[in-house]
């Protein structure tokens, strides 16, 4: 599936049978939904930066790889991202950060996700991230950091591995 | 590029022998038969298709057969004369080298002032200011949305007080300064003019460039605040103010750089940028400004990407298109309106985080293309910019790269060294034709603002950027150190900006708000709001507010209050 417009192939949130409460493990959730449930990914662009080339390319590549992708658009606060992730019932959040604000944004988002009980959501970061900052981001709960030059296939593979094994 | 299976022979395809616009000479046809064909049979070429970085097809060989409709008098001309294909000055770099203008800005105004003075001491000839994201978005450093972003991507400027520090001991009468600021451009420019006035510099003589290009923000970089209509009004206000008060200042730098960085092709970069330029001209004329008064103050800004000849063709085509548009479409009489003057920056998006020292080489080749294409000023990126803002060490090598091109390579000794090359002239023609196609399409949509509102350029760029990524992922395009020739290397020492910058800025703002006359600030902000509701030129009101030490956030808020803000429909 590819194309420019956001096409939904799974039912909208309201139509979908799903557990009311978050925090059930993936196995239980996937049984209750449908066997061929697509991986749901929220691509988010936090902070004031407007450079959205990477976010858009990743959104499209994940969609082409068969995932359900929701793109938040620009200038999302951690609160907005956490709420969108909860509302859209996603398996993965992908953050695109190029502005150097990652050390502020990532811990805030992880804290909010924990508060909302969304500990099973995998959070990925892509962008311009100095190597020295990576250990602290991983410690804060970021599953992986993808640097410039990463192929989209690498990211697809990582998500498949982590979500199906969760 | 798809690799030929080994052991097969290559023959000439019918398209190759009879491309519609080509009429090879009898001699060329005979050569194909006697020399080329046997050679291909023996050793096939590396690939079936050769294309530029942008995917533009490139032929094996260019000859006079490619230039049948080309007229050297009409299409090439001589430098400093119509149609300016060969450059805007008759002697180009033999008289004066391009301005070496390294974009710099980080931390507080003090930090960036020190970097500016260092760069000037190393032989840099102009300044270029990078602002941080809160400044670019019209927020003060202590605004909640500024958290984590203060001083990170550029220097934090929240008021005239910061601007005074930024240019401390830098004589604005002698140094030309470029400022990369768009939505809040009028306010930042007002701060600059206030500093110049305080230094005793004559506004009529100071020179520099305000980026002030809001259209490419909607198209590509997305640092917009207000909706298109009031944003365009502000831009035209600065044009009008500039004509009257600062005749040597470029009131806009119409930018393809960001369009290219967002993933466009070279032709899209050229087409959207020039169509933006025409949009500004039309809005200026609608205001009642005289084309030949304000257009000479418009300047351009292009990217220099990896594909050497494609980039050179782009700059040459740009000058020719602008000349045609100004002379024919707008009936301009002033040759100063016909010449497209431009700044170039090497392609940030071409830099790799892997094997970062290779970036010095990429940047050198890109910079060489800009010089061969006749740029007026140049920024060369630093090797560490896929990781962070540059260290002083990396920024120095980037400046030295320009000095080596200027003083050691010899390419500056003659004007337009590639003029008359079958290949370069053909490519220039093709790039020009591709750009006109886009320009006409956008004309038919009702202009660039209308096209942006439909998402047209945004969609074209997203499409091109995805195509490029797929080509890289499939290794159809090779990026050394990334998808081929990979090796491990030690991490670089990079520039770190810590959160103390934000604290220092917050403290400075607290002090400023305590010391200034709040009544005066309120009075001037209210005058600005009132003027924004009417049709007056807002520059004098913004200047007044700046002088009372109203902050950037307060000034932008006054206009947000009247104009509202813009939200794009995201296209993925």
User: Which residues are registered as beta bridge partners of A126?
Assistant: A96, A146
Interchain contact, A151 vs B491, CB within 8 Å: no
- How many residues comprise chain A? 166
Q: Which residues contact A141 (CB under 8 A, 6 or more apart)?
A: A110, A113, A114, A123
Q: What does the alpha-carbon distance between residue B194 and residue B162 come to, in Å, rounded to a whole number?
A: 12
Q: Hey, what domains does chain B have and what are their CATH numbers?
A: 94-473 (3.20.20.240)
Q: What does the alpha-carbon distance between residue B394 and residue B409 come to, in Å, rounded to a whole number?
A: 21
Closest by CA position to B236, among listed B285, B203, B179: B285
Rg from Cα positions in chain A: 15
Interchain contact, A57 vs B469, CB within 8 Å: yes
| Strand pairing category for A40-44 and A122-127 | unpaired
User: Using one digit for the tens of pLDDT, what is the confidence trace for A94-149?
Assistant: 999 999 899 999 999 999 999 999 999 999 999 999 999 999 999 999 999 999 99
ipTM entry:
0.89
Q: Which residues of chain B neighbour A157 with C-beta distances below 8 Å? A: none
Q: Which sign, positive or negative, has the C-alpha torsion B385, B391, B397, B402? A: positive
Owner of token pair 């006359």: B517
Q: Does A149 touch chain B (CB under 8 A)?
A: yes
User: Which residues are registered as beta bridge partners of B210?
Assistant: B179
Report DSSP letters for B376-392, one per residue: SEEE---TTTTTSSPPH
Instruction: With a cut of 70, say whether residue A12 has pLDDT above it.
Output: no
| Highest CATH level, class, for A71-166 | alpha beta
* Structure tokens belonging to residue A51: 């450079």
Q: How many contacts does A have with B, using Cβ atoms within 8 A? A: 120
Tell me the domain boundaries of chain A: 71-166
Give the phi and the psi of residue B136 in degrees, each rounded to 5.
Answer: -60, -30
* 8-state DSSP, A57: H
**Residue B352: which of A59, A77, A149 has the nearest Cβ?**
A149
* Structure tokens belonging to residue B289: 């400004």
Interchain contact, A101 vs B354, CB within 8 Å: no
User: Which residues are registered as beta bridge partners of B342?
Assistant: B300
Give the phi and the psi of residue A69 in degrees, each rounded to 5.
Answer: -120, 130
Q: What does the alpha-carbon distance between residue B268 and residue A71 come to, in Å, rounded to a whole number?
A: 25
Instruction: With a cut of 80, say whether residue A48 has pLDDT above it.
Output: yes
Distance from the B57 Cα atom to the nearest Cα atom in chain A, whole angstroms: 24
With the CA atoms of B80, B85, B87 and B91 taken in that order, what torsion angle do they form, in degrees rounded to the nearest 10?
Answer: -60
Q: Which residues of chain A neighbour B383 with C-beta distances below 8 Å? A: none
Report DSSP letters for B419-461, one per residue: TT-HHHHHHHHHHHHHHHHHHHHHHHHTSHHHHHHHTHHHHHH
Q: What does the alpha-carbon distance between residue B72 and residue B60 come to, in Å, rounded to a whole number?
A: 23
* Structure tokens belonging to residue B63: 């000859």
Q: Which residues of chain B neighbour A49 with C-beta distances below 8 Å? A: 133, 149, 153
* 8-state DSSP, B254: E
Q: Which residues of chain A neighbour B572 with C-beta distances below 8 Å? A: 4, 6, 43, 55-56, 59-60, 63, 69, 71
pLDDT at position A55 is 97
pLDDT at position B16 is 53
Interchain contact, B462 vs A101, CB within 8 Å: no
**Residue B473: which of A4, A101, A152 has the nearest Cβ?**
A152
Q: Does A111 touch chain B (CB under 8 A)?
A: no
Q: Work out the angle at residue A19's Cα, subtended by the Cα atoms of residues A18 and A20, and round it to the nearest 5 degrees.
A: 110
Count helices and strands in chain A by DSSP H and E runs: 6, 5
Q: Which residues of chain A neighbour B362 with C-beta distances below 8 Å? A: none
Q: Does A69 touch chain B (CB under 8 A)?
A: yes
User: Which residues are registered as beta bridge partners of B208?
Assistant: B177
Q: Does A147 touch chain B (CB under 8 A)?
A: yes
Confidence of residue A36 (pLDDT cuts 50, 70, 90): low
* Structure tokens belonging to residue A158: 């990582």
With the CA atoms of B189, B193, B198 and B204 taken in that order, what torsion angle do they form, in degrees rounded to the nearest 10?
Answer: 160
Owner of token pair 């956030």: B553
User: Which residues are registered as beta bridge partners of B346?
Assistant: B304
B565: left (phi over 0), alpha (psi -120 to 50) or beta: beta
Owner of token pair 């590509």: B220
What's the pTM? 0.92
For B134, the closest chain A residue by CA position comes to A48
Q: Within 13 A of B186's CA, how many CA atoms are on the CB side?
A: 28
B265's enclosing H/E stretch is: none
For B106, the closest chain A residue by CA position comes to A100
| Strand pairing category for A92-97 and A40-44 | parallel
Cα–Cα distance list, B440 to A27, A85, B298, B325, B410 (Å): 55, 42, 22, 12, 40
Interchain contact, A51 vs B221, CB within 8 Å: yes
Burial B336-360 (b: 16+ CB within 10 A, else e): ebbbbbbbbbbbbbbbbbbbbebbb
Q: Which residues of chain B neighbour A69 with C-beta distances below 8 Å? A: 572
Q: Please report, in tens digits, the pLDDT of each residue of chain B (572 residues total).
A: 344 444 455 665 545 544 567 889 999 999 999 999 999 999 999 999 999 999 999 999 999 999 999 999 999 999 999 999 999 999 999 999 999 999 999 999 999 999 999 999 998 888 999 999 999 999 999 999 999 999 999 999 999 999 999 999 999 999 999 999 999 999 999 999 999 999 999 999 999 999 999 999 999 999 999 999 999 999 999 999 999 999 999 999 999 999 999 999 999 999 999 999 999 999 999 999 999 999 999 999 999 999 999 999 999 999 999 999 999 999 999 999 999 999 999 999 999 999 999 999 999 999 999 999 999 999 999 999 999 889 999 999 999 999 999 999 999 999 999 999 999 999 999 999 999 999 999 999 999 999 999 999 999 999 999 999 999 999 999 999 999 999 988 888 998 888 899 999 999 999 999 999 999 999 999 999 999 999 999 999 999 999 999 999 999 999 999 999 999 887 77
Spatial contact of B356 and B69, defined as CB atoms under 8 Å apart: no
Q: Work out the angle at residue A118's Cα, subtended by the Cα atoms of residues A114 and A122, and round it to the nearest 5 degrees.
A: 105
* 8-state DSSP, B75: I
Distance from the A154 Cα atom to the nearest Cα atom in chain B, whole angstroms: 10
Distance from the B446 Cα atom to the nearest Cα atom in chain A, whole angstroms: 23
Q: What does the alpha-carbon distance between residue B21 and residue B364 come to, in Å, rounded to a whole number?
A: 35
The angle that helices B358-372 and B308-324 make with each other, rounded to 10 degrees, is 30
Report DSSP letters for A98-133, one per residue: -SS-HHHHHHHHHHHHHHTT-TTSEEEEEE---GGG
For A45, the closest chain B residue by CA position comes to B570
């Amino acid at each position: 599936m590819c194309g420019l417009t956001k096409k939904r192939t799974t039912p909208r949130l309201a139509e979908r049978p799903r557990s009311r409460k978050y925090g059930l493990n993936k196995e239980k959730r996937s049984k209750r939904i449908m066997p061929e449930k697509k991986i749901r990914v929220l691509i988010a662009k936090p902070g004031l930066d407007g450079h959205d080339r990477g976010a858009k390319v990743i959104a499209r590549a994940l969609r082409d790889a068969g995932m359900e992708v929701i793109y938040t658009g620009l200038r999302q606060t951690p609160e907005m991202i956490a709420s969108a992730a909860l509302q859209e019932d996603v398996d993965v959040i992908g953050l695109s950060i190029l502005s150097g604000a990652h050390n502020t944004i990532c811990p805030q988002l992880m804290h909010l996700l924990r508060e909302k009980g969304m500990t099973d959501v995998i959070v990925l970061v892509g962008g311009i991230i100095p190597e020295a900052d990576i250990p602290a981001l991983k410690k804060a709960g970021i599953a992986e950091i993808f640097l410039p030059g990463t192929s989209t296939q690498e990211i697809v593979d990582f998500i498949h591995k982590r979500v199906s094994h969760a | 590029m798809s690799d030929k299976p080994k052991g097969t022979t290559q023959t000439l395809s019918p398209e190759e022998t009879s491309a519609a616009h080509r009429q090879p000479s009898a001699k060329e046809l005979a050569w194909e038969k006697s020399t080329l064909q046997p050679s291909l049979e023996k050793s096939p070429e590396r690939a079936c298709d050769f294309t530029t970085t942008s995917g533009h097809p490139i032929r094996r060989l260019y000859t006079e057969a490619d230039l049948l409709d080309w007229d050297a008098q009409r299409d090439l001309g001589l430098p400093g004369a119509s149609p300016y294909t060969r450059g805007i000055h008759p002697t180009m770099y033999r008289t004066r080298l391009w301005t070496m203008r390294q974009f710099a800005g980080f931390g507080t105004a003090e930090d960036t002032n020190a970097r500016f003075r260092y760069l000037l001491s190393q032989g840099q000839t102009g300044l270029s200011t990078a602002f941080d994201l809160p400044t670019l978005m019209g927020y003060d450093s202590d605004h909640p949305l500024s958290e984590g972003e203060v001083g990170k991507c550029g220097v934090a400027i929240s008021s005239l007080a910061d601007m005074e520090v930024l240019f401390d001991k830098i004589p604005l009468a002698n140094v030309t300064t470029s400022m990369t600021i768009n939505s809040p451009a009028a306010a930042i420019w007002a701060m600059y003019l206030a500093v110049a006035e305080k230094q005793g510099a004559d506004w009529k003589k100071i020179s520099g460039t305000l980026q002030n290009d809001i259209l490419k923000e909607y198209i590509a970089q997305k640092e917009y605040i207000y909706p298109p209509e009031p944003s365009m009004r502000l831009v035209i206000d600065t044009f009008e103010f500039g004509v009257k008060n600062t005749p040597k200042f470029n009131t806009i730098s119409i930018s393809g750089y960001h369009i290219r960085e967002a993933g466009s092709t070279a032709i899209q970069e050229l087409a959207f940028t020039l169509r933006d330029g025409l949009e500004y001209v039309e809005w200026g004329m609608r205001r009642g400004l005289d084309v030949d008064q304000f257009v000479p103050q418009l300047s351009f800004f292009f990217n220099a990407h990896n594909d050497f000849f494609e980039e050179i063709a782009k700059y040459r085509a740009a000058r020719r298109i602008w000349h045609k548009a100004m002379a024919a479409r707008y009936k301009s009489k002033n040759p100063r309106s016909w010449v497209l003057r431009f700044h170039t920056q090497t392609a940030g998006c071409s830099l790799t985080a892997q094997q970062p020292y290779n970036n010095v080489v990429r940047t050198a080749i890109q910079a060489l293309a800009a010089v061969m294409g006749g740029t007026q000023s140049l920024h060369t990126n630093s090797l560490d910019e896929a990781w962070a803002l540059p260290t002083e060490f990396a920024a120095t090598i980037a400046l030295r790269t320009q000095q080596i091109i200027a003083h050691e390579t010899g390419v500056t000794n003659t004007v337009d060294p590639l003029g008359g090359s079958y290949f370069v002239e053909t490519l220039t023609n093709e790039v020009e034709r591709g750009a006109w196609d886009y320009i006409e399409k956008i004309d038919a949509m009702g202009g660039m603002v209308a096209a942006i509102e439909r998402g047209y350029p945004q969609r074209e760029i997203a499409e091109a950027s995805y195509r490029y990524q797929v080509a890289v992922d499939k290794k159809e395009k090779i990026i050394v150190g990334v998808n081929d020739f990979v090796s491990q290397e030690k991490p670089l020492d990079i520039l770190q900006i810590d959160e103390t910058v934000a604290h220092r800025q917050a403290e400075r703002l607290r002090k400023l708000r305590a010391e200034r006359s709040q009544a005066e600030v309120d009075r001037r902000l209210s005058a600005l709001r009132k003027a924004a509701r009417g049709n007056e030129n807002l520059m004098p009101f913004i200047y007044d507010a700046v002088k009372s030490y109203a902050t950037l956030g307060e000034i932008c808020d006054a206009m947000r209050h009247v104009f509202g803000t813009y939200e794009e429909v995201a296209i993925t």
